Copies of this chain bind each other. A is one copy, B any other.
């Protein structure tokens, strides 16, 4: 129990944190709220906890010596350019190289239509900035990427979820939702989709549905924002053909080097129809003037001098082994009524708990048992997701993944016993969108 003097200090300290500006903020600031689970993730970053929560790529697999030499060489040869302001659109040579990367997914593009951004998160922010007035509708898979939902919320968009299954977006659901919204007079600004190795669901839109989604959106005049950070990290054969490969005018494609190289450079991009590209560049300049020349040239140098396709292949092998570790231990250890998706690439498995269990209520117990995950509600803008959880296999070593799943299975079993003894536990309501920490990318 605190002494009087300590107690006084506590009140004073709280006093200084009262927000003198509380009635001054913009309306959009009301949508910027910290995730309720953020404090738990601070605990989850302790080494004794197996984190199946974060979306951090395993950068330790990179040839660090080579990267070090490469950046030193960059400063020696091109220092005055690398250290100077660059163009708002991004380094022209890097934009050419980005076109080479996208060609692996069937995209033929002109580098003039590429804008380099501070991670693809910034591309999302800029696209939302130029299209969304408060109340405008964004269509998105349910569940969808927590960072995208946070950005849509920050611009006061209304997110309407489209149902998906193990083969991605259900085209009938998309068509029906668009029809209902149009009938109601709601302005749909774009469909946001992660068609390949989706975050968080781990599923991939199949080839037949890709054409259907393109057709539905084209007929309805709905722009598609195709977010593809994981497309190159498939475990079986060649990359999927991007949506953008079959429609240059109706798709804005977002890409990133965060998962195929390293997130620490924060180099992503948008490929957009020309008129939208113009607006993106202006929005980019208004937001940050220009991205770091240094990191852009470092990525360019890496692509020009290193066997980056081989590096991606070695990432594929690494993540496939981890996916296998997670799936096999889920199969071996989880109680009968728990189900999960089987990703063929990317970082994530989406698990569904039995009736009566709530993933957010489960999290504190899981963390005390030294395993962490992300509860499903963060991936829905409408309060859904309570029975779901995202399990990441990208960062921990396979043995740790198996140990994490073992701990998690134990927690779920205990919850099931409690449910069977005392009935359904409390299901906390979810209000608003969780703003993600960067570790939830």
Contact = CB atoms under 8 A, between A and B. Distances in A.
A21 B289 CA distance: 24
Given A80-B59, A263-B84, A295-B295, A437 B285 contact: yes
Contacts of A264: 81-86, 292-294
A325 B393 CA distance: 61
Nearest to A26: B133
B25 A130 contact: yes
A412 to B, nearest CB: 29
A85 B438 contact: yes
Contacts of A56: 84-85
A7 interface: no
A62 B79 contact: yes
Contact of A288 (B69, B119, B436): B119
B436 A285 contact: yes
A122 interface: yes
B33 A282 contact: yes
A contact patch SS:
helix
Interface string A32-68: 1110000000000000000000001101101011011
Interface stretch (A268-276, A331-339, A346-354, A382-390): A268-276
A249 B295 CA distance: 35
A17 interface: yes
A170 interface: no
Contact of A130 (B29, B67, B147): B29
A: contact size bracket? 35 or more
B118 A288 contact: yes
Contact of A286 (B62, B131, B151, B223): B151
A71 B262 CA distance: 16
Interface string A108-137: 000000000011011001000111110010
Given A17-B275, A282-B34, A438 B263 contact: no
A275 B24 contact: no
A253 to B, nearest CB: 15
Contact of A285 (B133, B274, B435): B435
A185 B437 CA distance: 39
Nearest to A263: B85
A421 interface: no
Contact of A83 (B21, B32, B67, B118): B67
Given A118-B118, A287-B121, A28 B441 contact: no
A32 B133 contact: no
A75 interface: yes
Interface of A: 16-22, 24-29, 32-34, 56-57, 59-60, 62, 64-65, 67-69, 71-76, 79-88, 118-119, 121-122, 125, 129-133, 136, 147, 150-151, 154-155, 189, 223, 249, 258, 262-266, 273-276, 278-279, 282-283, 285-295, 298, 435-439, 441
